[in-house]
Amino acid sequence: MSGHRLTFRPMQEGDLSMVMEIELRAYPHPWSEGIMRDCLRSGHHCWLTLYGNRIVGHAVMSIAADESHLLNIAIDPKCHGHGYGRILLKHMLGLAQQKNVGTVFLEVRDSNRVAATLYDSVGFNEVGRRRGYYPATKGREDAIVYGLIL
């Protein structure tokens, strides 16, 4: 995947079919199209990552007062291993800084060590745990809550 660089643009409702294709490939328990649409309509910061003209990832972040919550971040599994997740995460953190956010929070599945390693590497710290937060194939799975002071 050379010859192009990643670009970003705000997500629009017309992007939802492609976003949902990625969401369904990326997560065993993906968000629904209705949840994504509600995030767009409620004014959350919904962004796309593009490689050339192709959507390769998306992120959704809420901002209230001086806090931000990274609600969803996904890279198409077909594009893993190129650092796109790190680039998208840094884009979202930059957006939070532009909006004068002091702290960014997020949750990650306890079993998602790849994501946890990424968050650790950019300075997030574990600040809590939500027991049984995520649906799992058998029962529920804990979420690790991470925070980053900008």
Instruction: Look up 146 and say whether it is catalytic.
Output: no
Q: List the catalytic residue out of 51, 84, 119, 134.
A: 119
- What is the average pLDDT across 11-33? 95
The torsion defined by the Cα of 42, 44, 50 and 54, in degrees rounded to 10, comes to -20
CATH number at residue 109: 3.40.630.30
- How far, in Å, CA of 150 to CA of 127, rounded? 15
pLDDT digits (tens, 9 = 90+) for 58-106: 999 999 989 999 999 999 999 999 999 999 999 999 999 999 999 999 9
Per-residue pLDDT, 4? 65
Residue 49's domain spans which residues?
6-149
DSSP-derived 3-state class of residue 13: helix
In a domain, 1, yes or no: no
Nearest to 88, CA basis, from 36, 37, 35, 50? 50
Number of domains in the chain: 1
Instruction: Look up 27 and say whether it is catalytic.
Output: no
Predicted TM-score (pTM) of the model is: 0.93
